[in-house]
């Protein structure tokens, strides 16, 4: 084999190995980034659920006249009578 061709093949082999190393690093970085995004969004959803249960739900339950009572309005929305009861119960509390 010609020494010039041998040198070019060795150089090409080195370039291919370097390219393969770089591609593996890029794939690894993408995988870690995807995993990190999933963990971040799970933390955000868990924190929002926790904050809802901890702070917002008790506040909302304070304003419900009869917990467990079903709404009688259209599409499950409270009727005007239900809203009036809610307003009256809110005004009656000190």
Backbone angles phi, psi at 72, to 5 degrees: -110, 0
Which pLDDT does position 66 carry in this prediction? 61
**Structural domain range at position 33:** 1-63
Number of folded domains in the chain? 2
Same domain, 88 and 74: yes
Q: Is the pTM of this model over 0.95?
A: no
Most confident of 3-7, 38-42, 80-84: 38-42
Whether residue 73 contacts residue 82, with contact meaning beta carbons closer than 8 Å, is answered with: yes
* Residues 8 and 45 placed together within one structural domain of the fold: yes
Based on the domain organization, do 46 and 92 belong to the same domain? no
Which two structure tokens, joined as six digits, stand for 23?
């591609």
Name residue, tokens 């659920």: 49
Q: Which residues contact 64 (CB under 8 A, 6 or more apart)?
A: 86
Cα 71 to Cα 62: distance, rounded to the nearest angstrom: 17
The answer to whether 89 touches 65, Cβ cutoff 8 Å, is yes
Q: Mark whether 23 and 47 lie in a shared domain.
A: yes
User: Does 11 share its domain with 45?
Assistant: yes
Note whether 41 and 58 are same-domain residues: yes
Residues 42, 58 within the same domain: yes
What pLDDT is attached to residue 59?
Answer: 80
Rounded mean pLDDT of 80-89?
85
Q: The tokens 């020494």 sit on which residue?
A: 3
């Amino acid at each position: 084999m010609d020494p010039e061709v041998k040198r070019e093949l060795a150089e090409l082999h080195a370039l291919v190995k370097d390219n393969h190393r770089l591609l593996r690093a890029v794939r690894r970085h993408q995988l870690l980034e995807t995993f990190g995004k999933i963990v971040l969004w799970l933390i955000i959803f868990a924190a929002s659920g926790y904050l809802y249960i901890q702070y917002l739900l008790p506040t909302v339950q304070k304003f419900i006249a009869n917990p467990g009572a079903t709404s009688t309005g259209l599409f499950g929305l409270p009727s005007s009578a239900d809203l009036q009861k809610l307003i009256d119960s809110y005004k009656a509390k000190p």
